[in-house]
Structure 1
Amino acid sequence: MARRIQKSRQAIIDAFMRLMSEKEFESITINQIAVEANVNRGTVYLHFDDKYDLREQCIAAQINQLLRHCMSGDHLVHLPSKTALLHTFEYLEQHASFYSIMLKSKGSTVFRNQMETMFGESLSEYLDSINLDKEMDRDITVQFLTSATVGILEWWIIRSMPYPPSVMVEQFWNLLNRGVEGHEHLSLGSR
């Protein structure tokens, strides 16, 4: 993508995020985004179908960056691991503005659902790569761990990160291990 086109696209995304921090998503218009980004409406439509597409692309880009960052160092995804959790909490801390805006807005269910989908898919891939204890249903395990992970991340972000990432990881890790204790095939280890 040419530098000028990329600059325009980033200006639109930045403008959208500024507007999201000030008002509810439903009240934001393409005109407002264009004015805030200092581009014309047509430029916004060159990059995005509408404001819903803009929101979806922003969310997808952030979640993909989160996944890439949190899984760096491992070519194979080894979820859940302490290292991956620590990388996740640290990444969220560094990008708190975006995640806080998305989780505190009225349309937060869209963002939360995408996070759950992303974590669920990663966890499913992991469970497919191990020999899950036959007493544990794969779908229930994925749902439980996904809900727990997204729920604790959401709680932490909405409350302005009252604990450092290392404390969150230790507490969450201990809770996860208690929940699967006795099921050696889903051992969470100490990665």
Structure 2
Amino acid sequence: MDENALDLRVRRTRKLLQDALLNLMSKKSFQAITVQDIAAEAMINRSTFYDHFVDKYALMEYTVSQQFQEQLMNKLPDRNHYSAENLRALITTMWEYFGGLHGRCQHGDEQERMLFQSQVMNVVKRVLTNWLSEAPEASTGDQSACELAVAVMSWAMYGGAHYWSENKPQGTGEELAERLIPILNGIPHIQRLMERP
């Protein structure tokens, strides 16, 4: 079989599984959903499910990561560089995605939301790592400075979004970004990156 056709078939099957999972999660908790439920909803057999994912957790992680990454890539003005505009897009997309979890996980619990959020954080860390690889410290071999900046920024963004959801539930992602960007730009590593011509 042609490799492109195989790849298309894999993507189509994974999309069916993602849609099935999200549809089921709008009706009941993730914990109550079985692999058999997902396979039946996607109209495939269980062995096909296991050809793609080891369990429902792997499917959930893949689904969240893919959805958030697609949503983010559609909003970034320039995907490969650190800028205030890109940072604003990253923060607002994260806020919107976290806010949307309440709609997608109506029957979910805190553990379920944490699983979703950890996948979003993984994407955020990858994006920030890519952006910060341009920093002077990255070219001089001080990788720990970049890693620390990524950790601080991603957790600051997560903490800001969590605070915002509890204290400003009607607030927007743009408002959150306006408050967070000056804080994030105050990190010395980021200041040096922003000062570059």
Verify same fold: TM over 0.5.
Answer: yes
Aligned-pair CA distance for 1:29:
0.4
- TM-aligned CA distance change 1:75 to 1:29, over 3 Å: closer
Between the aligned partners of 1:49 and 1:121, the Cα distance in structure 2 is 23
- Tell me what 2:130 maps to: 125
Paired letter, 1:54: L
Aligned CA RMSD, in angstroms, stands at 3.9
- Tell me what 1:31 maps to: 36
Between the aligned partners of 1:153 and 1:113, the Cα distance in structure 2 is 13
Mind listing any 5+ residue stretches in structure 1 that lack a counterpart?
A: none
- Tell me what 1:163 maps to: 171
Aligned-pair CA distance for 1:148:
0.7
- Tell me what 1:114 maps to: 119
- TM-aligned CA distance change 1:130 to 1:55, over 3 Å: same
The answer to whether the 8 A contact 2:95-2:173 is kept is no
Matches within 5 A, 1:166-177: 166-177=174-185
Matched, 1:149 2:151: no
Between the aligned partners of 2:129 and 2:33, the Cα distance in structure 1 is 36
The answer to whether the 8 A contact 1:120-1:143 is kept is yes
**1:76-121 CA distances to partner (integer Å, 9 max, x unpaired)?**
322xx33223333157537953576479652333333333333223
- Tell me what 1:77 maps to: 81
Sequence identity percentage: 25
Aligned-pair CA distance for 1:5:
6.8
Q: Please, what TM-score do these two structures have when normalized by structure 2?
A: 0.67
Aligned-pair CA distance for 1:51:
1.1
The answer to whether the 8 A contact 2:73-2:79 is kept is no
Matched, 1:93 2:101: no
The answer to whether the 8 A contact 1:70-1:91 is kept is no
Paired letter, 1:97: G
SS at match of 2:58: helix
Aligned length: 183
Aligned-pair CA distance for 1:15:
2.0
Aligned-pair CA distance for 1:61:
1.1
Paired letter, 2:187: V
* Aligned match for 2:73, one of 68, 72, 82: 68
Aligned-pair CA distance for 1:16:
0.8
- Tell me what 2:25 maps to: 20
The answer to whether the 8 A contact 1:13-1:58 is kept is yes
Between the aligned partners of 1:59 and 1:182, the Cα distance in structure 2 is 30
SS at match of 2:74: helix
The answer to whether the 8 A contact 2:88-2:177 is kept is yes
Mind listing any 5+ residue stretches in structure 2 that lack a counterpart?
A: none
Matched, 1:59 2:67: no
